[in-house]
């Protein structure tokens, strides 16, 4: 069985961190060689007291630039063969690591294992709604999902060698560095093996970054635009240029539309003008992406799942 390095970045998550810690216990996962590295960015709400009392953690307490900076610190400290990125408010279903280890063992050339996810949304009555996303197309590593869809980043388990080949997360992009990383992974032609088994559970709450919704639409769009333009300026290989042009096209459309919907027409017009100067054909590039994005909307919402307990503990 390969050794796993679980990396968790945390900041003021006293109410949710225990769920994440409990979910990676060797008893639940069926794997004994688990290294759990927690990077705390300076919690002040009692999170550190919870972490300090939990046995076996590799705990680092220091300020960081953003989530991706914390992940990079964890990757640098990790020693396991397989790296897992576990958010401080989420969990791994029981037996996940056993299943992932088996897949890596069956496919020695595999660089990446991707699985289905559940989205857990609590309601006012303390009941929960569990949504399962397991469409096979989302479990592959597609440019469409990286550019304009759902990345399911945390449900992707990577060999350490991927970071050696591709590099770590780029902290210049504080919101979409995971998309940038996955794009580089796709262009690096890593071998991905997917499974419809649920390998990760996201939990929705008011402070969740994953479920930030409309309030983060403009920041995400602008960071995507910055990331795509940066990569276009730094890239020279033709296949990669084409991918980054498509990412730039979608980001230009999405950012300008989000700003326009909020009455910021001058900023929207400026983006359209600058994008046209950079790539006169960006509108033609965005059309097929938009068609796929609309056609896959229902699949992105997932389907009801009954595997999660009906009550929140």
Q: Higher confidence at residue 216 or residue 286?
A: 286
Q: What is the pLDDT of residue 121?
A: 83
Q: What is the pLDDT of residue 55?
A: 92
Q: Is 165 helix (H, G, I), strand (E, B) or coil?
A: helix
10-24 pLDDT, tens digit per residue, is 999 999 999 999 999
92-151 pLDDT, tens digit per residue, is 999 999 999 999 999 999 999 999 999 988 755 455 678 999 999 999 999 999 999 999
Q: Is 11 helix (H, G, I), strand (E, B) or coil?
A: coil
Determine how many CB atoms are found less than 10 A away from the CB of residue 269: 13
Beta-ladder partners of 311: 127
Q: Is the pTM of this model over 0.85?
A: yes
Q: What is the pLDDT of residue 217?
A: 85
Q: Phi/psi of residue 203, each to 5°? A: -115, 130
Contact 95, 29 (CB under 8 A): yes
Q: What is the pLDDT of residue 2?
A: 57
d(C-alpha 301, C-alpha 304), whole Å: 9
Tokens at 58, concatenated: 């590799």
Q: Is the dihedral of CA 55, 47, 209, 90 positive or negative?
A: positive
45-95 pLDDT, tens digit per residue, is 999 999 999 999 999 999 999 999 999 999 999 999 999 999 999 999 999
**Residue range 244-254: mean pLDDT, rounded:** 98
Q: Phi/psi of residue 149, each to 5°? A: -135, -145
190 closest CA partner among 157, 237, 235, 230: 157
Average pLDDT, the chain: 92
d(C-alpha 189, C-alpha 184), whole Å: 9
Q: What is the pLDDT of residue 209?
A: 60
157 closest CA partner among 7, 1, 25, 302: 7
Beta-ladder partners of 9: 39
């Amino acid at each position: 069985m390969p050794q796993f390095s679980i990396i968790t970045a945390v900041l003021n998550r006293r109410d949710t961190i225990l769920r994440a810690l409990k979910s990676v216990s060797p008893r639940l996962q069926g794997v004994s060689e688990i290294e759990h590295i927690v990077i705390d960015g300076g919690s002040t709400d009692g999170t550190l007291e919870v972490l300090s009392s939990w046995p076996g953690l590799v705990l680092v307490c220091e300020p960081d630039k953003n989530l991706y900076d914390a992940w990079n610190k964890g990757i640098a400290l990790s020693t396991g063969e397989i790296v897992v990125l576990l958010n401080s408010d989420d969990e791994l279903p029981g037996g996940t690591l056993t299943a992932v280890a088996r897949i890596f063992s069956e496919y020695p050339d595999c660089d990446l294992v991707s699985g289905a996810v559940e989205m857990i949304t609590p309601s006012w009555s303390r009941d929960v709604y569990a949504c399962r996303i397991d469409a096979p197309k989302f479990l592959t590593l597609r440019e469409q999902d990286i550019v304009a869809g759902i990345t399911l980043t945390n449900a992707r388990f990577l060999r350490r060698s991927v970071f050696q080949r591709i590099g770590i997360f780029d902290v210049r992009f504080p919101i979409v560095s995971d998309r940038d990383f996955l794009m580089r992974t796709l262009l690096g032609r890593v071998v991905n093996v997917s499974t419809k088994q649920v390998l990760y559970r996201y939990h929705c709450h008011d402070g969740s970054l994953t479920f930030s919704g409309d309030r983060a639409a403009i920041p995400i769009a602008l960071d995507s635009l910055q990331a795509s333009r940066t990569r276009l300026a730094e890239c020279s290989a033709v296949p990669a240029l084409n991918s980054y042009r498509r990412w730039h096209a979608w980001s230009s459309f999405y950012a300008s539309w989000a700003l326009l919907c909020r009455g910021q027409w001058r900023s929207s017009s400026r983006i359209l003008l600058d994008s046209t100067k950079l790539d006169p054909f960006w509108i033609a590039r965005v059309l097929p992406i938009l068609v796929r994005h609309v056609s896959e909307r229902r699949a992105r919402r997932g389907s009801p799942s009954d595997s999660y307990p009906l009550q929140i503990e």
